Structure 1
Amino acid sequence: MAKTLTVRAIEAFKATDIRQEIPDGGLPGLYLIIQPSGVMSRAIRYRFEGKPKKFTIGPLPVFPLTKARDEASKLLRDVSEGKDPAAAKATKKALKLDIVNDALDEFIKRYVEKKNRLSTIKERKRLFDKDFRPKFGKRTVKSLTRQEIATHLDEVAERAPIVANRLLSLLRKFFNWAVQKDIIDTSPMEKKIDKPSQERTRDRILTDDEIRLLWQASEKLGYPFGPMVRILLLTAQRRSEVSGAQWPEINLSGNDQQWVIPPERAKNGKEHYVALAAEAIREIEALPKVRPAEDEEPIFLFTTTGVTKVSGYGRAKKNLDAEMLKIAKEEAKAVGRLGDKLELEPWTFHDLRRTAASGMARLGVPVHVVEAVINHRSGSIKGVAAVYNRYDYADEKRSALMGWADHVTQLTIKQKETGIS
């Protein structure tokens, strides 16, 4: 019967002219391998599908006695569950997935790109590239611990709270995938990690007075962000859809002027028809057509290069806020009020979409029509009705957007009638 190996016993073994394989009685199947060179390693022997097999765990001192037995126990348990450690190792070696960067590339290729639309794929790649690869990319997947991941997420949350929550969710998927692919035995996130930041549903909408200030400030902002902001407000569509709008999507002829957002650019993957009210048409017709090259047709409505859509939203938003506040202070001073301490409540570009939707509802537009306008079908029409209700509400959507545009126009007319400039 094999003797249970001890640290002292292992240290006493000497190399010989031939390779030695010494069984460890402390765990049947585990062996100490001694090469003629004196190099020692640990390995297991087992049978899989009726065939004898050997798997090298690793060298000493990387795998000392206790660690070697723990690792051997996991591997032999895998064998009992129908998993072949040698085959798993061969797969990992072939795919080179031990390193985090390599594993992430494979995860994106095999999982993210097959289960998501293009905009989601880009966002998840960006999350990894900006907030995970720089710190962990060159590490082995197996070396990552729960504690350092949780600490990193807290650090990200200090800068970008919502981003940290998105990264947490994405990392859970990544490590679960890594377990399924036998890259690691257990996920470092197997024990729950709470969201680093508390998310709250936003309900911010701009008041009529803020809409007036926004419109006036956007006119001072100029192209491309000035008209883009006004189109956001008039159409109630998403920022990504408006900023990426392309001239071939716009139809200004006839009596059915509309903007058709193709499936690949719509969040729900469905083609979406946006009726264009007169004010929206005037905004679009006034846009410069920036061409990629002299002999090429223009592509994007909002661009500075002609080749890519507009970017730099953060800077544009700061300029817009500053202009709105400047106008508000000038108005306060004009009527004899102190405006030095005047502040505007924070808002985001997405709040313009919510403002338009709420504004249409305030004007009496039914909720299901508002949902059709904003291409969000999960609200009032549900279940079987949602499956069979294919009516596009084209006339109702046009009426709703025209009514909303008229309301916004009246606010700007009031501004001019009262002499505010």
Structure 2
Amino acid sequence: MLNKLTDAQVKSATAEGQKQRKIADGGGLTLVIRSGSKTWWYRYRFAGKQKTYSIGTYPEVSLKEARAQRDEARRLLSENKDPVMARRTKGIRQQHDAENTFKAVAEDWLQNQETELAAETIRITRRRLENWVYPKLGTLPLTEIDPPAVLKVLRRIEDQGKHETAHRIRQRISQVYRFAISEGRAQWDPAGNLSGVLKTTPTQNRAAIIKPDELAGLLRAIDGYAGQPATCAALQLSPLVFLRPGELRMATWEEIDLDNWMWVVPGRRMKGTKKAKRAGQVPDHKIPLPRQAIEILQPLKQLTGHRDLVFESIKPGRPISDNTINSALRTMGYDSSRMVSHGFRSTASTLLHEMGWQPEIIELQLAHKQRNDVAAVYNRSARIQERTKMMQQWADYLDSLKQGADVVAINRR
């Protein structure tokens, strides 16, 4: 017989002076009463052996709940499965899932990438995951996340017009899964085949001034800008040397040889992965300094030359921030739709091509990655004479614009 007990009987049952008393409900379910406690047992035979499955204590586990667990155990037995082993396996799986949530694995992956990616890339990636992915997927086990769940997160990003961010986050989610697969913590990547269903990222170039008359106005505004000496110098040098903003603001005096008019940015500070930098695959970048750059740097060295950083912020020992030059441009009336600090590279590239300089020379001076790494190392150390002439002609051309010239100079090499 099944279900012989009632709630009232279970509640009022006592040991009646015995050390242990057992009251059967039927089907193997038994209420075991000891002094001060009542426990549910399920007794069964498996593989010829008598076994006991502890369901829990009363009243935490009610009569109804105990019967439900008994019925589940009987179902497992009908499938030739041991209820005790099934529960143990389930517990291990639950612990594994708890240790392998998306957030836990993603943080392990980020830590693993600290030797491969730049610190700034790690910071931006973590911020994006925290803003977009963790709130929806962070607490879910990797094995429970499917493509529709990932796509829902990505569509939410797309709905805000952040198409490039959606593509980058899909790539990061896929990288997290590939890392998990390599460690045996996942079997497949639910983000792997979603790139084709995302909206195409609209082409969006960085804002840059490429018309000579507009550039002339900007150069005059830069000369008239009143700010901290390091900021003014960085702003004046930006169009002259057209380095990436990070390569410019992190400059140290040991890199700059004012006597020989040469600035050598070490490969460790150039664009590239940490792995490539450690392997010496990112060469030093030589910048022949024109006369105008020397005239900016010499007085600055009188102020900051006794310290390491060339463009030191008002906080000693720290360079000017990522946004310092952009903020100065905003102050001068150039919003992000007209000009940004990185735009000086586009300005120089466009106008130097119009001046007739060979694309290869311009690309070398921009330090764009070449397909052949051996050729890149050779070329960046070679053709320095041509690059020196180009940099001086470029600086002279900028001076002519400030003085009123309105045409692109012809290259007279």
Task: Find the counterpart in structure 2 of residue 373 from structure 1.
Answer: 365
Once the two structures are superposed, the pairs formed by residues 16-415 of structure 1 within 5 Å of their partners are: 17=41, 20=44, 34-35=53-54, 37=56, 38=66, 56-58=88-90, 97-110=99-112, 112-133=113-134, 136-157=137-158, 158=160, 160-193=162-195, 194-196=197-199, 198-200=201-203, 202=205, 205-218=209-222, 219-220=224-225, 222-223=227-228, 224-252=230-258, 254=259, 256-268=260-272, 269-287=282-300, 297-311=307-321, 313=323, 317=326, 320-321=329-330, 323-324=332-333, 346-378=338-370, 382=372, 391-414=381-404
| Equivalent position amino acid for 1:153 in 2 | L
- SS in structure 2 of the partner of residue 151 of structure 1: helix
**What do the CA deviations read for 1:286-328 (whole angstroms, capped 9, x no partner)?**
4377779xxx724241423122222262x85365246246xxx
Once the two structures are superposed, the pairs formed by residues 7-18 of structure 1 within 5 Å of their partners are: 14-15=28-29, 17=41
Conserved 8 A contact 2:210-2:350: no
Task: Find the counterpart in structure 2 of residue 330 from structure 1.
Answer: none
- SS in structure 1 of the partner of residue 201 of structure 2: coil
Instruction: Report how far residue 118 of structure 1 moved.
Output: 4.7
Instruction: Report how far residue 177 of structure 1 moved.
Output: 2.0
- SS in structure 2 of the partner of residue 220 of structure 1: coil
Instruction: Report how far residue 250 of structure 1 moved.
Output: 1.7
**What do the CA deviations read for 1:37-64 (whole angstroms, capped 9, x no partner)?**
4556779999xxxxxx9894427xxxxx
| Equivalent position amino acid for 1:362 in 2 | E
| Equivalent position amino acid for 1:323 in 2 | M
- SS in structure 2 of the partner of residue 349 of structure 1: coil
Q: Report the Cα distance in structure 1 between the residues aligned to 2:124 and 2:28, rounded to whole angstroms.
A: 57
RMSD over aligned CA atoms reads 4.1
| Equivalent position amino acid for 1:308 in 2 | R
Instruction: Report how far residue 34 of structure 1 moved.
Output: 4.4
- SS in structure 1 of the partner of residue 287 of structure 2: strand
Task: Find the counterpart in structure 1 of residue 35 from structure 2.
Answer: none
| Equivalent position amino acid for 2:357 in 1 | V
Given the two structures, how large is their TM-score scaled by the length of structure 1? 0.65
C-alpha distance 195-318 of structure 1, shift in aligned 2 (>3 A): farther
- SS in structure 2 of the partner of residue 395 of structure 1: helix
Percent of aligned pairs with the same amino acid: 18
Count of aligned pairs = 335
Conserved 8 A contact 1:217-1:320: no
Q: Report the Cα distance in structure 2 between the residues aligned to 1:239 and 1:414, rounded to whole angstroms.
A: 28
Q: Report the Cα distance in structure 1 between the residues aligned to 2:129 and 2:296, rounded to whole angstroms.
A: 38
Q: Report the Cα distance in structure 1 between the residues aligned to 2:376 and 2:387, rounded to whole angstroms.
A: 18
Q: Report the Cα distance in structure 1 between the residues aligned to 2:268 and 2:289, rounded to whole angstroms.
A: 21
Conserved 8 A contact 1:290-1:303: no
Q: Report the Cα distance in structure 2 between the residues aligned to 1:192 and 1:344, rounded to whole angstroms.
A: 32
| Larger Rg belongs to | 2
Q: Report the Cα distance in structure 1 between the residues aligned to 2:106 and 2:166, rounded to whole angstroms.
A: 18
Instruction: Report how far residue 251 of structure 1 moved.
Output: 1.7
Conserved 8 A contact 1:290-1:305: no
- SS in structure 2 of the partner of residue 287 of structure 1: helix
**What do the CA deviations read for 1:206-262 (whole angstroms, capped 9, x no partner)?**
21122122222323252344432332211121111112222222221x2x2222211
Task: Find the counterpart in structure 2 of residue 70 from structure 1.
Answer: none
C-alpha distance 387-408 of structure 1, shift in aligned 2 (>3 A): closer
| Equivalent position amino acid for 1:99 in 2 | T
C-alpha distance 237-389 of structure 1, shift in aligned 2 (>3 A): closer
Conserved 8 A contact 2:147-2:191: yes
Conserved 8 A contact 1:289-1:298: no
C-alpha distance 412-173 of structure 1, shift in aligned 2 (>3 A): same
| Equivalent position amino acid for 2:125 in 1 | R
Q: Report the Cα distance in structure 2 between the residues aligned to 1:286 and 1:130, rounded to whole angstroms.
A: 44
Conserved 8 A contact 1:299-1:306: no
Instruction: Report how far residue 401 of structure 1 moved.
Output: 0.9
Q: Report the Cα distance in structure 1 between the residues aligned to 2:142 and 2:390, rounded to whole angstroms.
A: 53
Instruction: Report how far residue 202 of structure 1 moved.
Output: 2.9
Task: Find the counterpart in structure 2 of residue 75 from structure 1.
Answer: none
Instruction: Report how far residue 360 of structure 1 moved.
Output: 2.1
Q: Report the Cα distance in structure 1 between the residues aligned to 2:144 and 2:309, rounded to whole angstroms.
A: 47
Q: Report the Cα distance in structure 2 between the residues aligned to 1:383 and 1:316, rounded to whole angstroms.
A: 32
C-alpha distance 189-318 of structure 1, shift in aligned 2 (>3 A): same
Q: Report the Cα distance in structure 2 between the residues aligned to 1:290 and 1:161, rounded to whole angstroms.
A: 45
**What do the CA deviations read for 1:344-373 (whole angstroms, capped 9, x no partner)?**
963432221011122222222211111111
Q: Report the Cα distance in structure 2 between the residues aligned to 1:322 and 1:207, rounded to whole angstroms.
A: 21
| Equivalent position amino acid for 1:404 in 2 | W
C-alpha distance 349-116 of structure 1, shift in aligned 2 (>3 A): same
